[in-house]
Structure 1
Amino acid sequence: MKTLHFIMDPQCGWCYAVAPLIDELTQLTTIDIKLYGGGLFSGANKRQLSADFHQQIIAMDNRITSLTGQVFSPTYYETLLDDKQRILDSDTPITALLAGGSLGINTVAMLHRMQVDQFVLGRSQSDIANLANIATQLGASSGAFLNAFDLFSGEKTQQQIIKARQMLNLVGGSGFPTLAFEHGDGAFTKLDHSRYYAQPQQWLAYVKHLINTID
């Protein structure tokens, strides 16, 4: 079993862009995907969406769609991106992933569901009730999820973000998403995922080749 470190942020558009490639990897039983929430909009970066950043996001979304086919729906733009009072927040969805993982939920599947809920269905990743609904769909009880959410909020979420940033530096990543295989000797091989958008078969061949070269 090879460990693939996936350093990402649930709110990151480019992490949504790579979701189809991550889905392809879930069919490989030789890979254990380990998620790290990087805190794109955490601490001082948690803020309202400015007009300039709003336009930057739209341009980025269009670029992602052209490269990957990933959908950003009109509902998402109308209900979330156009909401001038909305706070860009990574802490809440990262806490949700930590809570889900502690209850045995597959966090890769949970992340994917959260991304679709936000970017396609227009349901905010900062809406705890919606996150609880996702957790129940994936096999946890709502009460257990909410209790775990309370347990992991605050300090434990910040510890996870610090760990993600440390891992990003360790593997030589420069942003989200970063994917890296860990070798038996503690070295890392960073994956060049951006070359394989909309090319699932080539991506799988590339990853299988890497697996065969890792000790």
Structure 2
Amino acid sequence: MQELSATYLFDPLCGWCYGASPMIERLLSAGIDVHLLPTGLFSGSGAREMDATFAAYAWSNDQRIERLSGQPFSEDYRSKVLNKAGSLFDSGAATLAITATGIVDYRKRFDALRVIQHARYVTGLDITSLPVLADLLASEGLADAASLLIEAPDELLASNRHLIAQGQDLFRRLGANGVPALAIERNGQQRLLDASALFSSYDNLVAHLKAA
């Protein structure tokens, strides 16, 4: 599948994207070129403050994701993030952190996404906080990206807007109905993979890729 490449549409606050991360990681480990594009789904007008009703809905959904993917959603996440008064559901800062990482080394975007997801869903950290995100990047050996995130130069902000615009454009063009979404490109043609393939076996995912 060396001639195949893929674009992964995601949002760092999407629980289903967290559930899909093991499959994306396996594709990358297999040498498949997977380009990450954020959609900004839960930032800007898509952001909101957490409340009890939304927290209960999110936790119920998260339990379904855990059953399908095996990805853990901890009690620390439930108590320190979902049920924390005044907690924000806003992926803007986390998306910016992933963009900053990509500016330093585009191959590390998924590493940043992975550590941010783990920090939220397992450790129970507030990934809407820039200092928290900077510490996470630095702990992964991404000190340059951490510094860039805190400084937030115009270059970073412009790059972030550009990436989100690209993600939203592809999302619309392919008629995606949510994230995660994996767009397969072969011989200059793109098509959307059935998202359910990201939650089955790896062999089944590979079969879908070959069929694309």
Fold shared, TM-score > 0.5 on shorter chain: yes
TM-score (norm 1): 0.86
Contact map agreement 2:134 2:149 (CA 8 A) in 1: no
The answer as to 2:59 corresponding to 1:86 is: no
Amino acid aligned to 1:128? L
TM-score (norm 2): 0.87
Which residue does 1:69 correspond to in 2? 70
Percent identity over paired residues? 27
Shift of 1:164: 1.1
Shift of 1:206: 3.4
Residue from 4, 12, 20 that aligns with 2:6: 4
- Structure with a larger share of its residues in helix: 2
Shift of 1:156: 4.0
Gaps in structure 2 of 5+ consecutive residues: none
Change (3 A) 1:148 1:114: closer
Give the Cα separation in 2 of the matches to 1:178 and 1:21. Answer: 12
DSSP-derived class of the 2:8 partner: strand
Give the Cα separation in 2 of the matches to 1:13 and 1:196. Answer: 13
The answer as to 2:82 corresponding to 1:50 is: no
Change (3 A) 1:91 1:203: same
Amino acid aligned to 1:57? A
4+ runs deviating over 3 angstroms: 152-156
The answer as to 2:28 corresponding to 1:26 is: yes
Change (3 A) 1:184 1:196: closer
Query: RMSD between aligned alpha carbons?
Result: 2.1
> How many residues are aligned here?
207
Gaps in structure 1 of 5+ consecutive residues: none
Contact map agreement 2:180 2:195 (CA 8 A) in 1: no
